[in-house]
Amino acid sequence: MNVLELYSGIGGFHFALDESGVNGKVVASIEINNVANEIYKHNFPETKLYNSNIEGLTSEFINKLNVDTILMSPPCQPFTRNGLQKDIKDPRTASFLHVLQLLPSLHITKLLIENVKGFESSEMRDILTSTLEKCEFVYQEFILSPHQIGIPNSRHRYYCLAKKLPHVFSFQAGKLMLTFPCQIQKQECFPISNILEDKVSQNYVLSDSILMKRLNIMDICHPDSTRSCCFTKAYGRFLEGTGSVFTEKTKSQFAEIIKEVNVSSDDRSKLELIKSLKLRFFTPREICRLMCFPERFTFPDTISDRKKYMVLETVLTLKWYQS
């Protein structure tokens, strides 16, 4: 495959393709976010990266790239459960609509589209599938999560694979699938201990005020945990609904300390007990490992932790699946 990577971010699709062993090359990538582009260039200096608005693309430009495959993850904000869910009325769908308008005139035979859970019931999805049908693509839609393939993270996402006839899949395409078509059984997830860094700065430890006010809303992982919550771009700044935190204590040790906290009537004693849990945020490197980025992936020294968390929220978590 000769691949055009749209909305390329920090290279989630690119790494997935490289790690999969599938015969393919990313010929060019396009992204408008400057921070993401700095990280992408740092990791893929030989790939042609265009810092431009996708709405400005033409079929002539894309066809001159001599690509036959497009991988893309269009903006998800119009479809998120916590957003306004404006769907096609959200101006952030304009670039995706533009790509679909170009599709009939492109020399593309394979597509992979990723988005949030919820996209599958949107008007935008109906426009996507009707366009694919008009362009004589066979397609298969999925809702999948990393925990289904042994990764301890719940992050349900929409995926659509499409091939232009006469190309077909090795499985029978049909209704929305919630599992991989050839997966016999669910894989056991590896423990959180597999992603931990040896030495972690105190900067990631939760503050006293957060510990006292927010302990009861935290999703807490232990070394032997085989699950974690979806991480968002607000991780590291806010707690509720942004991702899991970590304690080196076992579940039983944690339960004993919490039992002591609940019977204590002195706030100072409570705080000392809670601080003994050593609750902290996961580091950006640990989240990279959780998302199955290879160790060779690195950030430029100029990128702050806050920016790292923000861009990591946008990357693909699932390993490449060859169909």
> Which residue in 188, 187, 219, 201 sits closest to 286, CA to CA?
201
Strand intervals (E) in 229-300: 245-246, 280-281
Return the half-sphere exposure (C-beta side, CA atoms, 13 A cut-off) of residue 128.
28
> Which residue in 88, 32, 85 sits closest to 314, CA to CA?
32
Contacts (Cβ under 8 Å, ≥6 apart) of 204: 280, 281, 282, 283
Mark whether 221 is an active-site residue: no
b/e 258-272 (16+ beta carbons within 10 angstroms → b): beebeeeeeeeebbe
Helix, strand, coil abundance in the chain, percent, nearest 5 = 35, 15, 45
d(CA 303, CA 199): 20
Q: What is the dihedral of CA 260, 223, 315, 74, to 10 degrees?
A: -50
Exactly one of 76, 160, 189, 221 is catalytic; name it: 76
Q: Write out the catalytic residue numbers.
A: 76
